[in-house]
């Protein structure tokens, strides 16, 4: 086993999955809010609320205490939703040792500040290398033993390569990328497009419609991502196109599920009330529109999703809005 000790904060589906993966390679301790979840992981090696029928690695240890999870950790992994990220990291800060790398699993943007999670890490924990693990990673498929690939993005490639070994397993292949901005934005922005794809599926639109939403959605997120400093090639890779396709097409995708239910005629409030997990696209779409305005980037699909989430538009309203949008050359923005 690797000698690096992992402290992972967050007992949701993806945080638990990553903790189970790293526990194969190195000592891993996970913190979860729910005491029953902690006891279940330690006693039965399961997390039935978020990963039904999945068996976690027997070496994984859970704790009720944030301080216990991070105090002796050589790497901190933040499996916390974007809007709770800052508060949990501030709570953990006094117990985290100097210079320890901190890796985010969140795919969202903070409301109010428009910040990416690595920016929050750099603000709260200056001097700690900040990175993100992202890609087309549906937790239940990975826990079922299906092959998947991901990206660990950090500015320091030496640290990224060391962490690559921590996260990689036989069927979970991890690549490195120095474009933290692009990788992080790809993960956050694709959730909004997935809501649009889900709305299309929910209304009974066909494969052609879904393909158009994915392709034009990729153009939107690439335009904004590049304007904010990401590299164009990143959005054609696992953190961009790869994650977008998985999230827009899989029935396991929370954001697509939200869109699908809205497309079926249900209200957003009804859909969210029934979900035990966070759909980051709902939380982030307002921030994305603020950034689109700030960087003067045309994002018509995102704009229609925004109106559904914040102005009570229906899925049909959204598609009518897109049809009214003037078509241009495919190479032009919009």
Predicted local confidence at residue 261, as pLDDT: 95
CB neighbour class for 84 (10 Å; exposed up to 12, middle 13-18, buried from 19)? middle
In this structure, CATH architecture of domain 184-324: Orthogonal Bundle (1.10)
Tens of pLDDT, residue by residue, the chain (334 residues)? 568 999 999 999 999 999 999 999 999 999 999 999 999 999 999 999 999 999 999 999 999 999 999 999 999 999 999 999 999 999 999 999 999 999 999 999 999 999 999 999 999 999 999 999 999 999 999 999 999 999 999 999 999 999 999 999 989 999 999 999 999 999 999 999 999 999 999 999 999 999 999 999 999 999 999 999 999 999 999 999 999 999 999 999 999 999 999 999 999 999 998 887 778 999 999 999 999 999 999 999 999 999 999 999 999 999 888 877 767 667 767 6
Name the active-site residue from 190, 251, 294, 307: 190
Predicted local confidence at residue 326, as pLDDT: 64
Distance in angstroms (rounded) separating the CA atoms of residues 164 and 93: 24
Active-site annotation holds for 251? no
pTM: 0.94
Among 1.10.3720.10, 3.40.50.720, 3.40.228.10, 3.40.190.10, what is the CATH number of 6-178? 3.40.50.720
Angle at 287 between CA 122 and CA 265, to 5 degrees: 135
Predicted local confidence at residue 307, as pLDDT: 96
**DSSP of 107-139, one letter per residue?**
----TTT---HHHHHHHHSTTS-EEEEESS--H
Predicted local confidence at residue 101, as pLDDT: 98
Predicted local confidence at residue 329, as pLDDT: 67
Distance in angstroms (rounded) separating the CA atoms of residues 149 and 284: 24
The domain segmentation of the chain, as residue ranges, is 6-178, 184-324
Q: How far apart are the first and last CA of the chain?
A: 50
């Amino acid at each position: 086993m690797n000698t690096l000790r992992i402290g992972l904060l967050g007992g949701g589906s993806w945080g638990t999955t990553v903790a189970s993966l790293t526990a194969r390679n190195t000592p891993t301790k996970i913190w979860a809010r729910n005491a029953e979840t902690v006891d279940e992981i330690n006693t039965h090696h399961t997390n039935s609320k978020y990963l039904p029928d999945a068996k976690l690695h027997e070496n994984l240890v859970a704790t009720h205490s944030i301080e216990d999870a991070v105090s002796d950790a050589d790497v901190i992994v933040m499996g916390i939703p974007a809007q709770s990220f800052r508060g949990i990291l501030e709570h953990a800060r006094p117990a985290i040792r100097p210079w320890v790398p901190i890796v985010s699993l969140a795919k969202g943007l903070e409301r109010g500040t428009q910040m990416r999670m690595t920016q929050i890490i750099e603000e709260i924990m200056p001097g700690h290398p900040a990175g993100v693990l992202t890609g087309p990673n549906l937790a239940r498929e990975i826990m079922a033993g299906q092959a998947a690939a991901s990206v660990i993005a950090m500015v320091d490639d030496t640290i990224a390569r060391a962490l690559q070994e921590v996260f990689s397993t036989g069927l979970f292949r991890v690549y490195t990328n120095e474009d933290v901005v692009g990788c992080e934005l790809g993960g956050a922005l694709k959730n909004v497009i997935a809501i649009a794809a889900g709305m299309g599926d929910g209304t009974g639109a066909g494969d052609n419609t879904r393909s158009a939403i994915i392709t034009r959605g990729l153009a939107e997120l690439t335009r904004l991502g590049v304007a904010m400093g990401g590299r164009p090639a990143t959005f054609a890779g696992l953190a961009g196109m790869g994650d977008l396709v998985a999230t827009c097409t899989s029935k396991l995708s929370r954001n697509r599920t939200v869109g699908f239910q809205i497309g079926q005629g249900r209200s957003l409030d009804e859909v969210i009330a029934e979900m035990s997990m966070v759909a980051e696209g709902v939380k982030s779409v307002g921030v994305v529109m603020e950034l689109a305005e700030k960087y003067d980037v045309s994002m018509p699909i995102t704009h229609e999703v925004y109106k559904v989430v914040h102005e009570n538009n229906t899925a049909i309203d959204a598609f009518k809005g897109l049809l009214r949008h003037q078509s241009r050359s495919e190479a032009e923005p919009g």
